Amino acid sequence: MDGTDRSKQYDVLDLIRALAAGLVCLGHIRALVIVDYGASGPHGGAAGVALQLFYALCSIGHECVIVFFLLSGYLVAAAPCAAR
């Protein structure tokens, strides 16, 4: 495996880490601005499905924090190994 393949792998891991951080931020913004799902009234049709998807994405913030820190630790630990 040459350096370009390793760089592409790290780019993918950085992308996953960025998506995780974005979902955490989205969850915090939703909690500050938008009411909870149960308090938002009846849900039906396509709008109800979109709203459920939005709240589902906002609710995985805790898991995204774990993914973010695991990938950050891996990337920090792998940097000295790649320099050899």
24-53 residue pLDDT tens: 999 999 888 887 766 666 666 666 788 888
Domain count for the chain: 1
pLDDT of residue 1: 47
pLDDT at residue 20 greater than cutoff 80: yes
Position 26: which residue type?
Answer: L
Torsion, CA 14, CA 20, CA 24, CA 25, rounded to 10: 50
Position 64: which residue type?
Answer: C
Can you state the angle between helices 3-33 and 45-58, rounded to 10 degrees? 110
53-82 residue pLDDT tens: 888 888 899 999 999 999 999 988 887 776
